Amino acid sequence: PVLVTKFICRNTIEERIDKVLQQKRELFQAVLGDSEMSNASLSLDAQDIFGLFELKAGHGDQLRSITPPSIENG
């Protein structure tokens, strides 16, 4: 077995990213139940990223999604 330990410092961008991803995981599980999670559900859109820096996304930026390269290349 593999044991993964995650260290996150308080009041950092990493803490905010982790919080957003955890909220997305919880929402995904609430909507779809215990089925396997897809990595696509964990992608961050422009609004999420701007929120990490406590900024507001512009009107055109709300439609873009930023995903890890492994998801985009499928």
pLDDT digits (tens, 9 = 90+) for 53-70: 776 656 554 445 555 555
Q: Which residue ranges make up each domain of the chain?
A: 13-72
Q: Which of 27, 49, 41 is nearest to 71 (CA)?
A: 41
Residue 45, class by beta-carbon neighbours within 10 Å (0-12 exposed, 13-18 middle, 19+ buried)?
Answer: middle
Report which of 46, 26, 29 is spatially closest to residue 18, judged by C-alpha positions: 26
* pLDDT at residue 57 in the model: 57
pLDDT of residue 31: 78
Instruction: For residues 10-21, give the mean pLDDT.
Output: 90
Question: Per-residue confidence at 71, pLDDT binned at 50, 70, 90?
Answer: very low
Is the full-model pTM beyond 0.75?
no
